[in-house]
Structure 1
């Protein structure tokens, strides 16, 4: 069975994969002021990984996928989320200390830097969701190939 999807599909994938990544990053960065956030943005960026696998095949995806790097990034996302949620533990779990104490992250409501550490939480969740979904997709793809 050939893994070659053809020139048109590969060309369109090369053009749209970066755009999907940029849109996912936008959804993550603006998750506290618009619908969306870390999970939705991470899943969107993982969709770019699915498109890469479909367009270029498993062999090419294997060459660009580093299991150890994705595992470390997934753990970093989880630890960042946990660490940020414990910043205000002296008051309450998930107490938004960066917003309540003022400074850079306590801007005017509705602006990008207006939610304290919620953008940091969205980034951590987005990183964890993206790396987890891509790792799961690669594991399923590799398992299927191994069974044949």
Structure 2
């Protein structure tokens, strides 16, 4: 697949970082607003798809490597499982970030709209978001290659 026109590449350069920023916003605020790890990961992966389509498979294969996506996908899965095992000994999704020696004491009760009200859920959303973006990124790279490795 060859690269697109200069106009498409220029627009991609402008909006690429905003799409990634919006995707991570959806991931981080998933427990407060509609969205979460899966939706935000899909938005970030769409930014990679836009980059790959506008610059072509040959130029993008050095930037987006399948090995990096595989490693990040497995790492996110292990982080999610590790967070699940950390919560076994406590109440389900207990907010261990709000009190103690490191983070200090936060007033009890729910502070609506604060990021710290979700307990472990935002951290799990990040793990799910990285998992989804890596998985969809791998699918995009394989689709661009046409089911085979891209050769120069």
Q: What is the TM-score with the length of structure 2 in the denominator? A: 0.84
Separation of aligned partners in 1, 2:34 and 2:135: 22
Say whether 1:76 aligns with 2:75: yes
Structure 1 gaps of 5+ residues are none
Separation of aligned partners in 2, 1:127 and 1:85: 16
Q: Report if the CA contact (8 A) 2:26-2:35 is conserved.
A: yes
Higher helix share: 1
| Secondary structure of the corresponding residue to residue 64 of structure 1 | coil
Separation of aligned partners in 1, 2:16 and 2:145: 22
Separation of aligned partners in 2, 1:20 and 1:14: 11
Separation of aligned partners in 1, 2:64 and 2:51: 11
Q: What is the TM-score with the length of structure 1 in the denominator? A: 0.86
- For CA contacts below 8 A with separation 6 or more, give which structure has more relative contact order: 2
Ranges of 4+ aligned residues in structure 1 off by more than 6 Å: none
What is the CA distance between 1:146 and its match in structure 2?
Answer: 5.8
Structure 2 gaps of 5+ residues are none
